């Protein structure tokens, strides 16, 4: 598919975030669904996140911060979509502490990823504009073992094209 992430387990290469997370949840019997209704809820949010929230946050961050001379009209189009999707998540998290099933699941893990990069990369002040999302990210950061993206990712950083 020409994409990262790729997780290699015993010589088998797993790709695509959502099925990787589902596989890990099943393997470790943690952070997954315990019945059909929860499975539906997790899949619903994982699909939405892949297509909408993380899909658009990732594209916007890359174009805004790590691409020289991005077209301002294209950036504005992506930012409008990012704001739409953050608005949906903000409303949802006003009514529940975690994304699905009332507890920490792989849906939270999928959705927090691109929201956990520094503000100078995402270009979005979550605390000011999306307080429920900011509070949810704080809750996730309290979970034992949680690490920020740059604590986890080794290697050289990309050049930034915005201040
Ligand atoms: N739906 C995929 C999206 C993964 C994705 O967008 N990966 C980016 C890097 S973060 C990529 O590999 N892009 C390569 C390209 O678009 O050519 C997933 O959830 O794993």
Summarised one tens digit per residue, pLDDT across range 8-18 is 999 999 999 99
Residue 128 lies in a domain: yes
Q: Which two tokens stand for residue 156?
A: 């050289």
pLDDT at 130: 98
Residue 91 lies in a domain: yes
Give the Å distance between the CA of 23 and the centre of ligand 1. Answer: 18
Total of domains in the chain: 1
CATH number at residue 120: 1.20.1050.10
Average pLDDT, the chain: 96
Domain that holds residue 34: 6-152
SS (HEC) of 61-119: HHHHHCCCCCCHHHHHHHHHHHHHHHHHHHHHHCCCCCCCCCCCCHHHHHHHCCCCCCH
pLDDT below 50 — which residues of the chain? none
Burial class (CB in 10 A: 0-12, 13-18, 19+), 6: exposed
Residue 80 lies in a domain: yes
pLDDT at 154: 86
**Ligand 1 atom with the shortest distance to the CA of 5:** 20
| Per-residue pLDDT tens digits for 104-114 | 999 999 999 99
Give the Å distance between the CA of 95 and the centre of ligand 1. Answer: 31
Give the Å distance between the CA of 87 and the centre of ligand 1. Answer: 23
The 10 Å Cβ neighbour count of residue 61 is 19
Residue 73 lies in a domain: yes
Residue 103 lies in a domain: yes
- Report the b/e string of 7-19 with b at 16+ CB within 10 A: beeeeeeeeebbe
Q: Is omega for the bond preceding 5 within 30 degrees of 0, making it cis?
A: yes
pLDDT at 143: 96
Residue 117 lies in a domain: yes
pLDDT at 134: 98
Please give the helix or strand (H or E) that residue 17 lies within, else none: helix 17-28
Residue 52 lies in a domain: yes
CB of 58 shorter than 6 A to ligand 1 = yes
Residue 163 lies in a domain: no
């Amino acid at each position: 598919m020409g994409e990262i992430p790729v997780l290699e387990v015993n010589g088998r290469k797993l790709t695509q975030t959502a099925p990787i997370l589902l596989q890990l949840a099943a393997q470790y019997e943690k952070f997954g669904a315990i019945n059909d209704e929860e499975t539906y809820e997790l899949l619903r949010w994982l699909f939405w996140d892949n297509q909408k929230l993380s899909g658009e946050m990732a594209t916007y961050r890359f174009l805004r911060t790590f691409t020289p001379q991005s077209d301002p009209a294209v950036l504005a189009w992506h930012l409008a979509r990012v704001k739409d999707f953050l608005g949906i998540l903000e409303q949802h998290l006003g009514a529940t502490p975690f994304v699905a099933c009332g507890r920490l699941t792989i849906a939270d893990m999928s959705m927090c990823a691109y929201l956990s990069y520094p503000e100078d990369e995402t270009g979005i002040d979550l605390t000011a504009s999306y307080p429920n999302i900011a509070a949810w990210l704080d809750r996730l950061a309290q979970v034992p073992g949680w690490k920020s993206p740059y604590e986890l990712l080794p290697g050289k950083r990309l050049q930034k094209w915005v201040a």
